[in-house]
Every structure is written in structure tokens, then in C-alpha cells.
A and B are shown apart, each in its own frame.
Chain A
Amino acid sequence: MTDTAEPIDAATANSGGRSLRFGTKAYLYASLLIVAAIIIIPLITTALGGFKTLGELRGNAFGLPSTWMWSNYGDILMSHRYWLQMGNSLLIAGLTVFLVLALSAMAAFVFAHVRFFGSQFLLNYFLIGLMFPAATAILPLFIRIRDLGLLDTYWGVVLPQVAFGLGMSILLFRNYFRGLPSELFDAAFVDGAGYFRFFWHIALPLSRPIIATVGIISFVGSWNSYILPLIMLNTESRYPWPLGIMVYRGEFSTDWQLILAFITLTITPTIVVFFAAQKHIIAGLTAGAVK
């Protein structure tokens, strides 16, 4: 390490500092634990509830089940519908992510690096999409999808989802492309690369972080989305899981133990992936907000 190129000292950059007093620490942990309990207890009791009988839920919603009803979970896992719904969600989210990434990266590249008349206007045009939710135009959207013959197909969900994701994604991609060092472009052009080659061989390979961010935002949004599939899909075998939960609840209206098991199984993938890739997911979901 060179001495002069050290903007801020290790000691000031690291946590370091004075240790907290015991009283302060106790207060911190007490507060944090209480809030954590409020977050976790509903989730744990939901998961445990899935192992109980309905009768037991009435008097013992908090505790461990007296007998573990593995069959509640087992039946769902053996059922076709759970896997089908997970598959549907995965397919819809996968298609959405792929299209959002492809379309927004391409458009954003043009906005970032090709100067042409009207580019600012077109960019602003896309940014209109940031200002209102899909719900505002849901009925005309329904009619459009119907008239295109896409009602009750995956595409009927995917295409609007992609369209409404474009505004934010193009903005994120464009800002990222803009931030790449301009010497890179000079060098590539001097080396004789054209725009296409530059996009494919230089801009994209350098854009992994933003691809991850946009991918995560689109995936989580699609995986969790409810209103679009609710309106565009009619056939239960095409339902993604959030719709599936609602149907399941309708069917087993007061059999809470089954509903709880079903909820638990549907949110398990989310929780597992979240803990496995927490850094990327948190960064991705907040990046859209901060940038």
C-alpha cells in the first residue's frame, strides 16, 4: 500500500471505536429482539400450524403441535397442483426476466451511447411508465390482451409485466452504461469495433452487477405478482402460486391447518433463496430505489 493513496484511515473506516456500555447494549438487544419476535412469530406459527389439527389450532396456535400431522404437508407435496403452480410461477417469472433484460439492455444502450435526434424525448417517454402502477390501466389492458387472443395464456401475463418493468430497467441500465469509463469506448472504437460488437463484447460483460439488479427486481416482482395473473388467467392449471393460494383458501375455507401448510410451502422457496442470496437480493431491491 502506498502511503499517500489512503483516503480514509483503516481505523476510521472500520467499525472500531469505543465499545458500547452494558446498559446501552441491553437496551439495543431488548428492542431488536422484540421487533424480531413480531416479525418471526407469525411466520413460525404459520409453519407450525401446518402440522396441527384444526382443533389444536383453536387452543394452541403458539405452541408445538401435540402430534405432528405430517400428512398436511405430505398431501400438498404429493399433489399435482402445488408443483404445477410453482412451475407456472417459475415459467412466467423466467420469461419476464429474460425479456426485461434483453429489451431494456438494448434500448438503454442506445440511450446511453448513440446520439440521435429525439433520444431524450424517447427516454422520457419510457420514464412515464415509472409514474403509475399497472392497475390504473388494468381494464383497457385486459381488453387489449383479449383482442390479441392472449387471454388465459402465459404471454397475457408476461407481456404487460415486461412492459411495465421497462421504465425502471431502462433507467437503471442506461445510468450504468453511462457510468462505464469513457476511455473504454474510445479504445474499442479506435480498435475498430462498431456499436454492436461493443455492446456484445464490452458493455454487456461489464454489466453483470446491473444485470443482477434488474434481474432480481423483475424476478421478485413477477414471482410475487397477483393482480395481472388474476385478471388475465382463467384456467386453474395456469395459475401461478399467489393465485393458487387464494383458490386453495376458497376451497378449504376454514381448514386453517391445510391453508397454513400450503402458505408455508409456497413461501419456502422465497425464504430459502432470500437467505442464500441475501446480499444480492437486498442490494438489488434497494438499488432500484436509491439510484
Chain B
Amino acid sequence: MSQIAPALEAAPTAVLHTRRRRGVRGKWPIIVLFLPPALVLFTLFVILPMGEAAWYSFYNWNGYGLPTEWIGFKNYELIFKQSAFRNALINNGLIIVVSICVQIPLALWLATMVTKSIKGAVVFRLIFFLPYVLADVAAGMIWRFVYDGEFGLVANIYEFFGQNAPFWLADKNVAFSAVLGVIVWKYFGFHMMLFIAGLQAIDKSVLEAADIDGATGWQKFFKVTLPLLGSTVRLSVFFAVVGSLQLFDMIMPLTGGGPSNSTQTLVTFLYSFGVMRMQVGFGSAVGVVLFVICVTLAFSYKRIFMRND
């Protein structure tokens, strides 16, 4: 063995690899034992259901027996006719807009502050990240209390000023704005952590070079820091988009999609109109639409904005 070692060391790595792979026996046993468990589970509970959703979506079916009543694209037509669906679509869009225009700038701003060398910076980071760790359901419930017009914090604030408190979550013009507030509250910490990681990856001496080059604080931020955070910003937007399309758990305790469907998201819509009514065909069609939206957005975003990241 000691004789082969120098010879092996001398060989270029690429050659070494192919040789090793050819030389080591027992490649099939490990493939056959290690892959199938994951493969079976994944196929059974992820891939097949997605395919079945596409299949069921052409039927009117309540989930019992076999789907027999073929109705073509009727379910899809129905979806797009529903004003609740349009609300859901618009709401998902709004969540993305608010994420980009409010949440991400807020997260970036806070990230720049808690990466300064000040006392307590780490504690602030923890506090800001805390809502992200809490379960959506718990956060939704807490904010339902906050917004409560009789017992909640909002009620108490209005009372303090001698006013009658409104029930924001019960007002279809206000409810979704209230929900957006909770979304920002719950998720900005995650984006902040991404930005902290991004900021820490910037070579500090580059910023010092900018100091020496005579950049002011703002110039440093906009001409050096921000361009260097480009990939983090794109990543952050990506997660905002993906997160919006999955939003369900937090809406349920807050509003359940109401009042009058003003706070539906795509997933709560699927739940209210597909699952609750056991409309398997219709619900599956909604799932397919959601799938198409997810895949299209994910793909085109990655193509267009994240090519070089």
C-alpha cells in the first residue's frame, strides 16, 4: 500500500476519480438499498398526487368511488368566474408587492443597523427573528387578539382616545391591510437574516476603501453595499413570492379568508371551496392552477433575475 500511495498522489484528481469509481465494487447494492425508500415515498406522496390533481380536475367528483363524471374544463372555467378567486389572486399579488416595497426595505434597513458594532445588536437580531420562529397559527391568533375591537390592543388604544373601536378584521375594506401588517410582522425577520448574511459576506475593507475614496454614508450604501447585495435582494424577493403563494396557516385564525372573501389567498381559496365542500375535482383544478403559477413564477424568476447568482 505504501508503494501505491505516491503514485496515487501524483495522478491528477480527475483520473483518480474515474479510476476509483470503476475500481470500487458494490455500487449497485448501495443504489438499490439507499435510493428506493426516498424515491417511493416521494413518488407516492408528491409526484402522483400532483398528477392525480391534473386528472381529477376534469371531473365533477366528491371523492367517493371513482371519478366518472367528466366535465372537461368546466372546473377551470368555474374558478376564473369566482370573484373569491380573483380576490385571492389579487391578494397574493398584493402580498408580493408589499413584501418588495415594505418588507424587504425594512429588513435591509434593520440589517444594516444590527450589523453595526453597537451593544445589544445580537439581542435585537434575536427579537426581530422571533416572529419567524413562531407558528403561523399562533401568530395569527395573537394578532386576532391585537386587532380585536372589544378586548384587543386596538380596542384599548381607541378607548384611550375615547373612541369606539372598529373591528378591522370584520371590515372587508380594511381586513386585508390588517393581514398584510401581520405578514410583515411575521416574516421581515427572515429577510433580515438573509441580509445580515449578505452584509457579513461583504469584505469590510471594501467599505473602508470607499471611506477613503470619500464616499458619504448614503453613497457607500447605494454605490457599494446595495450593488453587492444584489443577489441577496433577488433571493429575498424570490422567497417573498414563494411564501405568498403558500400562505394559509396564518390566514385561518385571523380571518379564515373572510369577511366576504376579502382576505382569501390561493391556498385558503382552495381550502374553502375545494376541501371544505369536498369538491375534489374543483379543488384539484385550483391546485393545478396554483402549481402552474408556482412553477411559472419560479422558473421565469430564476431565468430572468437569478441567472448569475
Contacts and interface: CB of A to CB of B under 8 A. Distances in A.
Q: CB atoms of A and B under 8 A apart anywhere in the complex?
A: yes
Contacts of B39: 107, 122
Contact of B17 (A16, A58, A126, A182): A182
B291 interface: yes
A41 B127 CA distance: 11
A109 B79 CA distance: 43
Interface string A122-153: 10011011011101111111111000000000
A195 B56 CA distance: 43
Task: Name B's interface SS.
Answer: helix
B193 A39 contact: no
Interface stretch (A67-75, A80-88, A205-213, A271-279): A271-279
Task: Name A's interface SS.
Answer: helix
Contact of B44 (A17, A57, A144, A231): A144
Contacts of B159: 59
Given A194-B26, A249-B141, A144 B134 contact: no
Interface in A21-51: 25, 28-29, 31-32, 35-36, 38-43, 45-46, 49
Interface residues of B, number: 104
A289 B235 contact: yes
Contact of B295 (A8, A131, A162, A274): A131
A165 B24 CA distance: 32
Interface string A237-255: 0000110011001000010
13 contacts: A15-B117, A20-B116, A107-B39, A136-B294, A139-B274, A144-B49, A186-B16, A195-B30, A245-B138, A256-B152, A285-B132, A286-B190, A289-B190
Interface of A: 8, 12-13, 15-17, 20, 25, 28-29, 31-32, 35-36, 38-43, 45-46, 49, 54, 57-62, 102-104, 106-107, 109-110, 114-116, 122, 125-126, 128-129, 131-133, 135-144, 159-160, 162-164, 166-167, 170, 182, 185-186, 189-190, 194-196, 199, 220, 223-227, 231, 241-242, 245-246, 249, 254, 256, 259-260, 263, 266-267, 270-271, 274-275, 278, 281-282, 285-286, 289-290
